[in-house]
Structure 1
């Protein structure tokens, strides 16, 4: 059918068949094409309007389709419709609505929602101009007909979504329009709308609960921006309160009252509103929380009470700041009167109910914190909150530790909220928190053998939480004076000596180790407990626990604990001969946890490879920081790493002969782990304990000899190169110049058959070597410079698909790495590396830097390029500089400094681009410094006139460039280019 012609009498029935979800693909395709045809036609959509107005189709999918076509016209083509067509849309909607009033089969919710959306879009487009009586027309049509009111209320919610909803982003134009719509509605129709809501709520509260709930939702949505007196009056509030007693309505009534309370208003008026509502709710028995069994309602009620409480806190804060002491005191009394209800809800066994009141509780504690002196009642309130927090922190029987799902995640979040309350309580009364936790902890530890796991876990958890709740630096918990230090010390002693580490529940075990490491400074004060704690880490309680989750976490915690022992525990214990023998005992006990698990052995290792990283680091710390002589440290490190090296050689040999791709991947992973483990041991070394001082250089050089052949492995290159490259980074730090003999061969292998990612990761390695060793590596850099540059050029020149974003990003990152490498060489004072490449190669490299500064819209790379150019001008731009370079400055560098900022892609409102311009300006300043008046004359007589810059501006710019204050020059150049681009 030709949709561009006059209005067709019927719709394309064949195309409509494709709207059925079960239709064949060809029918669905035809329906989609028909939809596009109707959307884009000048008047073809009118057939859909006709179908809706006359109720021609009974099929829901066809009706929805017709509304979608109409929606498109209103949304995207309303302005281009004729007056008659706009009138047709209005009439269609009203006729369709009239059909709903006839009481036939009601429409499905998705049809009604789409109709409401179309009505709301029409309202937004036409209310301020051609349909100011939109709501009056709607109301006069529907009257009190429940089918009509259903559409009316849905339309109001759709209008709210279009005009008010703050979660939807609007353009400035839409925001202005929405403000005008709201202003006009307040003046003309809001009182009538409010009256209609009252009538609906009163008429249908018994017979149509769904309609009443819809209406309550509308009131809640609109109350934020209409005159509150229209809602917050006796007749309306009494009606809402009566709904609180109707089971089907009370949750929505609660939400509606919450929105009313939430409305911004004067603090005195807000207090009066909350108090009047509070009195009515209390009289009606809603404060008797224990007698209410409906937890869903109580969750809503808790949210309402939370809103009331927070509103009172806000009022009190404002009144206190304004100095209105009398009214502030009255508001505080009103606030205090809600605390018993707060406590009932906070301690409720349902966590949703409790979580909904946490905000009020937190704010109330903040009020107490600001008061100079607490009354006995306020102290009692704080204590009651403390008891509630301790009770609610406890896990319940249903918590699934092995397979944590959504419920468990919600409880973890809820626990975080409770921790905030505990922290705030500690600010109000640190003594209260300390004594409460101490009491619970001590009594639980005395009888942990017969206590349930959740009681033991929460007791230790509370002790753990004290560390952050009580204001003190980490160590000061035990080294400070007073009762707090001794209380925490007593509790720590009890934790270790009670035997609770034997408790058979993962939550208790984990909490035990977390707390030991949280308070590791305790061992500075009482080092005699170290042996027993080390055993707990090493045996069935920790690293040998039956739970993989516990073993994994303990591997990390053990690593932290060992580091603390070596950095903080007194000299007399750790560095004694006894401790040296103890170190070797630990190493022998963890030996099986340090084995490389080959992919074919089939049995499940105790620790994952990630966990083993911590174990290797721990072993390294034990060896390096002990008091053994260097030869003993070397022997221990060799015995730690030799099994890795032997396994590596075997596995690498297997990999080169393996044909199966999956097996190759598994072997490469294992080889990468081996390199990673060796690398991790090197983290134990420091400026005080270097590889050389510990006699371990030879061991790590052996590692390099063993690992480097993996670079030439023909399969799994990416994974192996990445692992070995990371190891080289570590060795450059640890072995210093002893690593240098290995770099040329390693570099040669890594530059063969490079991918962009390989090159990009290789450049930082070369840059690290350049920055660290400078002139020592100059011969090597001169040799590798052009092969590396050519490899980069080759990768960058490879064609890529236009829409391949990944390839484009990889090239951009590689380009940045390349420029960064050149910058490192230039800034390391090694100009001979580039200067000795031959004139043709130097020129080629220089042109890439000019290109990077001007042609690529990447401000990060442009900034680097200008830094390089500035540095090269400094090195080669003087009278005794590189032959031919001054000519290059005038032909290429000066033009780059002007052409780059003049590009349309050079966005001076972008912070990175401004930094690039800053470096560009410094390059011009450096040219002036090196070439002097000759440069100024070149700008005045040749270059700026070629850009058609006026003589006045030319003169001004040249004067500014000669200014010593670079800030003045930068500001001028920014203004110059902003003006030039207008």
Structure 2
């Protein structure tokens, strides 16, 4: 706009038409442009203020629009407004509020909320300076008018969000301002606000329940930081308790009381508050729970009792640290008086009500754990909690196992809370827990055929949970404590001999297998039970179950079972392998992955001679090798993208399965000792052509690369002939991700084979580096975070690769690249050390520089390198720490500074007095460092202890280091 005053004094009606959600796109675009115009104008927004003050528009969208424009002015331009304009905003808000008082119709909630936000923003900006009487002005205007009070209460909640809410991040300046606002409010207007709340609650409790609930929410929000005596007094609490008997109000009243109880206080005062509240609630009959009570209210009530209980536990914990034994004992007594009610709520059939009391329950058990001796009543309480947990762990009939939705997810979360209680029970009384679970488990297993699935499942589940709740000696439950060992062994025998694995419900089946694997060490003690369990795994109960979910999970559990007990499997190996033959297919990737791994473990760890192992491994992997070439040929000819993806996935799975079998080898059972080298070399030969496939490169390269990683570990130098051609294919048409994932492979080869791969590395070094440079130099959109992150990760990988070469003692790889190439690489390292604000990469770069100085910086080092040290490495050691982005509060940056210091020490070690002289006469003066600091630094550098230099650099890396 060329001239501010030329802006029309009336609103653009055509633009306003675009505010309607159903308006045409061109109108909506015009409305958006108009909004931006009004926001940025010095005074054009005043037409919105006038529209609100005079109630010109009845359209809700226009009113909301006007408030949005006002909000922008207050939030972002308040300081730039003239005194007259600030006054205009105040008057507009009060006139609009007055308009509400006279209106017979209430505004829509979204308008009232936006208005409340604007009131709150104005309050925050002006209360301490221009509008100290904000609340008095509002209250004197609205009186007891319901429409006005509605806006007043919404404004209070909006102020709470702006000034108090801890979940909203504030700048230090905002935090200081908010503290001043709260202090000022406490001094001037809080008593008046509290009085207004009391009047609202009393006046409208029977006629305007929504208004009363709003007011209760306000009290709950503000009680955390105002004087509690203004609220926790007889007249207020009695009023709140009367609300507890009104159906429409009682949930909010519960929440309000919860916030009162939750307020931070002295432990003695807190106990008194909770106890007085408790007595009043008990007298009013709230502790006598009715079975037909509304569950929503009981969930809130349970939360309130939980808060009261936890408050008493906190008071007791604080008081135990004092010497007042009497008050401590009284607090414990008050706490234990709530236990019967806590147990009733914990046992309630509604899980929400039960879940809300778990915190109190957990904390109470922690109190009992700290007591030197338990009374009979306390032991009885422990038992009651234990029985409640066992009962509440049980699934109900409505649980949908086939299609788990939100309700099921909530029950799973609730079960986790109950598990925490069970773990805590185990800490307080392990003997009692063991005895109770044993009793429930044994009785259920005796009659599982006639029991309902949820009873059988929970009995096995409890047995499973014991394994995590009770401490295991040396990782096993079947050594150490005799009673525990004997009981657990007895339960395992019962589980296996009862026939419960035949129970026809997926939850019981899964729990059976989970428990068998949980206690797999039992079979080391009693291996005679292994055949029974193997059959359960291998038949219709396990790997051939009708449910895909069960089959998939059992495949994983079976692999774990075999891994633990492979020493006991020799007799069964070939039988198992023949039984799982049909399950080693490409069609069920997750299950097959574990099946191949299991087969590998069985073959490798068996007691067969090497030639037999080779035969077994070949018969395992040959179907994969035979399937691979035809699938690859099919993929290269396929044009349909969906079919391409499916074929590539299938090929990827084949490589992945072969790779998984290799995980069975270890230092004692190597590929060579097992006679399996040839089989895996054949696999390599079969899989490598996939690297040159022109379609679905990402999937295929990733799979083959992972296989190569495994083969480098397993085949050792036998893999080396395959590396050059594999590298050549992987470096073609690279994306950042391809390169980033290829570099670790080369680094692995470098670190493992060192001089053996030196000729190959010298050959591949520059093509790889140039491929990296090419990718890093590609332009990317300014706000493309993904591309920026990919480049950062690639840069890190590149520096890690250079570091691997430098630290593997293979300096000839870089040294033989020709002076121009060496210089190019060195400059990238200097750039990485100084220019990019990435401390992880910077640290790596300084490690490289230090190593290169060590290798090439001496008298017989690389020609021209000392000159490079003085011109580039040395300045980098000072320039990097002085960058504004060099943040010493960051741990990685501190490590970078440490490596930078070590680089300086290494230069001094290699160049001696010449280096000190260069620092004094050329380097530091050119960086404008004062003679005094130059002298000081040179002295510190010559100290033998590196720590002295590190500490000096830490305090000196600031602009004050310069003149």
TM-score bracket, normalised by the shorter chain, equals over 0.9
Query: Over aligned residue pairs, what C-alpha RMSD do you find?
Result: 1.9
Sort the Cα spacing of 1:256 and 1:847 in 2 relative to 1 into closer, same or farther, 3 A.
Answer: closer
SS at match of 1:289: coil
Sort the Cα spacing of 1:700 and 1:360 in 2 relative to 1 into closer, same or farther, 3 A.
Answer: same
Q: Which ranges in structure 2 are unaligned for 5 or more consecutive residues? A: 955-959
1:806 shift after superposition? 3.0
Mean alpha-carbon deviation: is it higher for 820-829 or for 650-659? 650-659
CA distance in 2, matches of 1:514, 1:721: 36
The within-5 A match list for 1:948-963 is: 948-963=928-943
Instruction: Return the TM-score normalized by structure 2.
Output: 0.96
Whether the 8 Å CA contact 1:675–1:727 is kept in 2: the answer is yes
1:292 shift after superposition? 4.4
Q: Give the alignment partner of residue 716 of structure 1, picking from 686, 696, 718.
A: 696
SS at match of 2:703: helix
SS at match of 1:352: helix
CA distance in 2, matches of 1:136, 1:766: 74
CA distance in 2, matches of 1:268, 1:950: 62
Whether the 8 Å CA contact 1:652–1:671 is kept in 2: the answer is yes
Whether the 8 Å CA contact 1:616–1:681 is kept in 2: the answer is yes
CA distance in 2, matches of 1:361, 1:509: 32
Mean alpha-carbon deviation: is it higher for 165-174 or for 409-418? 165-174
Sort the Cα spacing of 1:742 and 1:503 in 2 relative to 1 into closer, same or farther, 3 A.
Answer: same
CA distance in 2, matches of 1:269, 1:907: 46
CA distance in 1, matches of 2:510, 2:610: 37
1:473 shift after superposition? 3.2
CA distance in 1, matches of 2:475, 2:786: 49
Sort the Cα spacing of 1:391 and 1:119 in 2 relative to 1 into closer, same or farther, 3 A.
Answer: same
1:671 shift after superposition? 0.9
1:951 shift after superposition? 2.7
Residue 370 of structure 2 corresponds to 370
1:580 shift after superposition? 3.3
Whether the 8 Å CA contact 1:506–1:547 is kept in 2: the answer is yes
Mean alpha-carbon deviation: is it higher for 802-811 or for 630-639? 802-811
CA distance in 2, matches of 1:555, 1:839: 57
Sort the Cα spacing of 1:331 and 1:843 in 2 relative to 1 into closer, same or farther, 3 A.
Answer: closer
Q: Kindly provide the CA deviation profile for residues 439-494 of structure 1, in whole angstroms up to 9, marking residues without a partner as x.
A: 11001000001110000000000001111111223654212242111011100110
Mean alpha-carbon deviation: is it higher for 323-332 or for 385-394? 323-332
Residue 514 of structure 2 corresponds to 514
CA distance in 2, matches of 1:948, 1:12: 61
Q: Kindly provide the CA deviation profile for residues 701-746 of structure 1, in whole angstroms up to 9, marking residues without a partner as x.
A: 1111111122222222222122111111111100111111211222
Whether the 8 Å CA contact 1:6–1:43 is kept in 2: the answer is no
1:97 shift after superposition? 1.3
1:257 shift after superposition? 1.0
CA distance in 1, matches of 2:319, 2:559: 53
CA distance in 2, matches of 1:788, 1:62: 61
Whether the 8 Å CA contact 1:598–1:670 is kept in 2: the answer is no
Whether the 8 Å CA contact 2:569–2:602 is kept in 1: the answer is no
After TM superposition, the runs of 4+ consecutive aligned structure 1 residues lying more than 4 A away are 6-9
Whether the 8 Å CA contact 1:220–1:257 is kept in 2: the answer is yes
Residue 336 of structure 2 corresponds to 336
SS at match of 1:879: coil
1:7 shift after superposition? 8.3
The within-5 A match list for 1:532-551 is: 532-551=532-551
1:340 shift after superposition? 0.8
Whether the 8 Å CA contact 2:659–2:707 is kept in 1: the answer is yes
Sort the Cα spacing of 1:208 and 1:767 in 2 relative to 1 into closer, same or farther, 3 A.
Answer: same
CA distance in 2, matches of 1:786, 1:797: 16
1:888 shift after superposition? 2.7
Sort the Cα spacing of 1:18 and 1:795 in 2 relative to 1 into closer, same or farther, 3 A.
Answer: closer
Mean alpha-carbon deviation: is it higher for 795-804 or for 130-139? 795-804
CA distance in 1, matches of 2:551, 2:412: 21
CA distance in 2, matches of 1:183, 1:148: 26
Whether the 8 Å CA contact 1:393–1:458 is kept in 2: the answer is yes
1:2 shift after superposition? 9.3
CA distance in 2, matches of 1:143, 1:758: 70
Sort the Cα spacing of 1:110 and 1:719 in 2 relative to 1 into closer, same or farther, 3 A.
Answer: same
Sort the Cα spacing of 1:799 and 1:73 in 2 relative to 1 into closer, same or farther, 3 A.
Answer: closer
CA distance in 2, matches of 1:839, 1:16: 69
Q: Kindly provide the CA deviation profile for residues 511-561 of structure 1, in whole angstroms up to 9, marking residues without a partner as x.
A: 111110001111111100001101111111111011111111111100000
CA distance in 2, matches of 1:160, 1:40: 29
Mean alpha-carbon deviation: is it higher for 360-369 or for 33-42? 33-42
CA distance in 2, matches of 1:848, 1:141: 70
Q: Kindly provide the CA deviation profile for residues 907-927 of structure 1, in whole angstroms up to 9, marking residues without a partner as x.
A: 444432332232222222112
Whether the 8 Å CA contact 2:9–2:44 is kept in 1: the answer is no
CA distance in 2, matches of 1:781, 1:291: 78
1:579 shift after superposition? 4.7
Q: Which ranges in structure 1 are unaligned for 5 or more consecutive residues? A: 567-577, 600-611, 978-982
SS at match of 2:286: coil
CA distance in 1, matches of 2:790, 2:272: 63
Q: Kindly provide the CA deviation profile for residues 6-55 of structure 1, in whole angstroms up to 9, marking residues without a partner as x.
A: 78553222221111111111111121222222222222222222221221
CA distance in 1, matches of 2:546, 2:822: 64
Q: Kindly provide the CA deviation profile for residues 303-338 of structure 1, in whole angstroms up to 9, marking residues without a partner as x.
A: 111111111111111222112111111111111111
CA distance in 2, matches of 1:796, 1:201: 66
Sort the Cα spacing of 1:284 and 1:973 in 2 relative to 1 into closer, same or farther, 3 A.
Answer: closer
1:250 shift after superposition? 0.9
CA distance in 2, matches of 1:494, 1:922: 65
Q: Give the alignment partner of residue 805 of structure 1, picking from 785, 802, 825.
A: 785
